[in-house]
């Protein structure tokens, strides 16, 4: 539907109760007015008023009569996920992916293509905007874009939506990504680190659903982690919580792309595997990688992983070494954070069970027994879509938060 164009002022307590009712229905915790009252602790009259307001705004809809518990059968309620459209994008070091989402994180119109983040924000974001525009042009006349969400492969100050000294993104420091898109699509924009939005996507629809304390770690070109604490994404004071890629892993003289020496990412990330894999091929220590070098093919992390999967011992040792270092670094977080679940995603982690097995061994060896008593370490089954879904949930959560509803155009006042 179209975004409403006006909002009268509501008292704070009404906004709070409105959001409580809406969250109870959209989370699936309640599907009738009595269930909403039970779930929120609000009185029957208040629930009736807030439901009427949300139905009038188009965010909720009434359905069939539900089962009776002794009195008149209650009418079922549902969240109208189809009411608005969210545009989402996930940027990687070497790719961009975009999609359209409804208000429940259901993705359609997905498109992925190669890109080089080092080309700078103007070129990369202009291409994202072109892909967004193609989606917008296909929208029905009665639908508007309600918000835009993006994940970037570097540190992002969440309050402003700006990247801050991103190691692999030259020219992006302080760039106003939010203004770039809001000025083109007349919609609010939220930007976060790519691993944070992946963790959020896992929490809402992956193996992390139902867990309160989770680490999602992405081992791709770089390495990062998203933290779920007490059932919510933990960004930290400025938004860079979980950046384990730049934890030191010994007295190494290898210089990381961030400028420091000995970072985990410089030893175990995708760029590191490509660098070391090329040397294995050049020296002849790895027959399969030597063949790639001799044929003039680029040696990437994916090349190394494929060689390891095909039984190349030198490549396999290199990949297992990456897993060992990642596991040791995760063990430090396990000891002070005590998660119930670690999810592993990213291109390097796609190496399979031998990679994940080494991560498990390293975590269990280096962590306290109590911290790993019920800990599960699994490969993410939805890593290829977690970032886009998480970006959509990020936008919807912000749009339907009390603070935004007060200042937005989404809900009309009920007398």
pLDDT in tens, 101-116: 999 999 999 999 999 9
Q: Across all residues in the chain, what is the average pLDDT?
A: 91
User: Collapsing DSSP states into helix, strand and coil, what is residue 338?
Assistant: coil
Parent domain of 169: 84-200+385-399
Residues 6 or more apart whose CB falls under 8 angstroms from that of 13 comprise none
Do 187 and 291 share a structural domain? no
Most confident of 2-6, 48-52, 410-414: 48-52
Is residue 363 a part of any domain in this protein? yes
Which position has the higher pLDDT, 29 or 404?
Answer: 29
pLDDT tens for each residue of 196-214: 999 999 999 889 999 999 9
Do 357 and 283 share a structural domain? yes
Is residue 234 a part of any domain in this protein? yes
Final residue in a domain of this structure, among 39, 64, 80: 80
What CATH number does the domain containing 17 carry? 1.10.10.10
Tokens describing residue 39: 């779930």
**What does the longest C-alpha to C-alpha distance in the chain come to?**
80
Give the rounded percent of residues in the chain with a pLDDT score beyond 70: 93
Cα(333)–Cα(352) distance, integer angstroms: 23
Eight-class DSSP state of 413: P
Cα(217)–Cα(199) distance, integer angstroms: 8
Per-residue pLDDT, 5: 39
Tokens describing residue 345: 């995603």
Per-residue pLDDT, 231: 94
Do 101 and 182 share a structural domain? yes
What CATH number does the domain containing 369 carry? 3.30.420.40
Do 321 and 236 share a structural domain? yes
Per-residue pLDDT, 125: 98
Work out the pLDDT band at 296, boundaries 50, 70, 90: very high
CB 247 within 8 A of CB 329: yes
Is residue 299 a part of any domain in this protein? yes
Do 348 and 251 share a structural domain? yes
Do 220 and 196 share a structural domain? no
Do 395 and 358 share a structural domain? no
pLDDT tops 50 at residue 96: yes
Per-residue pLDDT, 74: 78
Per-residue pLDDT, 4: 43
Per-residue pLDDT, 22: 95
Cα(303)–Cα(297) distance, integer angstroms: 9
Is residue 338 a part of any domain in this protein? yes
Is residue 231 a part of any domain in this protein? yes
Work out the pLDDT band at 381, boundaries 50, 70, 90: confident
Number of domains in the chain: 3
pLDDT tops 90 at residue 238: no
Do 337 and 220 share a structural domain? yes
Work out the pLDDT band at 415, boundaries 50, 70, 90: very low
Per-residue pLDDT, 405: 77
- Lowest average pLDDT, out of 192-201, 314-323, 349-358, 401-410, goes to 401-410
Q: What is the mean pLDDT of residues 12-31?
A: 90
Per-residue pLDDT, 6: 32
Q: What is the mean pLDDT of residues 130-145?
A: 92
Do 148 and 54 share a structural domain? no
pLDDT tops 80 at residue 64: no
Cα(2)–Cα(113) distance, integer angstroms: 30
pLDDT tens for each residue of 255-277: 988 888 899 999 999 999 999 99
Cα(321)–Cα(83) distance, integer angstroms: 48
User: Collapsing DSSP states into helix, strand and coil, what is residue 113?
Assistant: strand
pLDDT tens for each residue of 151-171: 999 999 999 999 999 988 999
Eight-class DSSP state of 371: G
pLDDT tens for each residue of 169-187: 999 999 999 999 999 999 9
Is residue 366 a part of any domain in this protein? yes
Cα(342)–Cα(339) distance, integer angstroms: 7
Final residue in a domain of this structure, among 42, 64, 80: 80
Closest CA to 191 of 208, 219, 172: 172
Do 194 and 217 share a structural domain? no
Cα(360)–Cα(277) distance, integer angstroms: 24
Per-residue pLDDT, 8: 39
Work out the pLDDT band at 67, boundaries 50, 70, 90: low
Edge-to-edge strand order for the sheet containing 85-91? 107-114, 95-101, 85-91, 145-152, 189-193
Final residue in a domain of this structure, among 51, 80, 109: 80
Do 100 and 151 share a structural domain? yes
> Per this entry, what is the length of the chain?
415
Q: Spell out the SS3 assignment of 258-289.
A: CCCECEHHHHHCHHHHHHHHHHHHHHCCCHHH
Do 141 and 65 share a structural domain? no
pLDDT tops 80 at residue 414: no
Distance (Å) of CA 154 to CA 65, 117, 267: 49, 11, 18
Q: What is the mean pLDDT of residues 316-320?
A: 96
Tokens describing residue 277: 């894999």
- Judged on CB neighbours under 10 Å (0-12, 13-18, 19+), 314 is buried
Closest CA to 199 of 169, 159, 241, 160: 241
Work out the pLDDT band at 71, boundaries 50, 70, 90: low
């Amino acid at each position: 539907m179209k975004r409403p164009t006006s909002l009268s002022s509501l008292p704070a307590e009404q906004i709070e109760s409105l959001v409580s009712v809406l969250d109870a229905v959209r989370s699936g915790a309640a599907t009738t007015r009595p269930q909403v009252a039970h779930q929120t602790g609000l009185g029957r009259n208040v629930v009736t008023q807030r439901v009427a307001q949300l139905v009038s705004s188009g965010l909720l809809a009434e359905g069939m009569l539900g089962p009776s518990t002794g009195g008149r059968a209650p009418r079922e309620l549902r969240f109208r996920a189809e009411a608005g459209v969210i545009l989402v994008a996930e940027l990687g070091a070497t790719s961009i992916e975009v999609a359209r989402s409804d208000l429940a994180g259901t993705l359609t119109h997905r498109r992925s293509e190669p890109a080089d983040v080092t080309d700078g924000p103007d070129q990369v974001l202009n291409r994202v905007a072109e892909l967004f525009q193609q989606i917008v042009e296909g929208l029905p006349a009665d639908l508007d874009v309600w918000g835009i969400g993006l994940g970037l492969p570097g540190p992002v100050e969440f309050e402003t939506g700006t990247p801050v000294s991103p190691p692999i993104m030259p020219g992006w420091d302080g760039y106003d990504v939010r203004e770039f898109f809001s000025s083109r699509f007349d919609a609010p924009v939220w930007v976060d680190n790519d691993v944070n939005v992946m963790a959020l996507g896992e929490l809402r629809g992956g193996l992390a659903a139902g867990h309160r304390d989770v680490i999602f770690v992405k081992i791709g070109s770089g390495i990062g982690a998203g933290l779920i604490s007490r059932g919510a994404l933990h960004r930290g004071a400025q938004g860079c919580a979980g950046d384990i890629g730049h934890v030191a892993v010994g007295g190494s003289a290898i210089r990381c792309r961030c400028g420091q020496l000995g970072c985990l990412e410089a030893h175990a990330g995708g760029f590191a595997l490509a660098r070391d894999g090329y040397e294995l091929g050049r020296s002849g220590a790895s027959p399969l990688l030597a063949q790639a070098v001799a044929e003039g093919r680029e040696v990437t992390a994916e090349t190394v992983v494929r060689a390891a999967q095909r039984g190349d011992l030198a490549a396999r040792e290199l990949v297992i070494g990456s897993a060992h270092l990642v596991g040791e670094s995760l063990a430090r977080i396990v000891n002070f954070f005590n998660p119930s679940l670690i999810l592993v995603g990213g291109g390097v982690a796609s190496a399979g069970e031998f990679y994940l097995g080494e991560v498990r061994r390293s975590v269990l060896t280096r962590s306290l027994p109590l911290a790993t008593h019920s800990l599960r370490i699994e490969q993410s089954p939805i890593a290829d879509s977690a970032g886009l879904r998480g970006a959509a949930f990020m936008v919807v959560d912000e749009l339907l938060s009390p603070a935004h509803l007060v200042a937005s155009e989404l809900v009309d006042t009920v007398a």
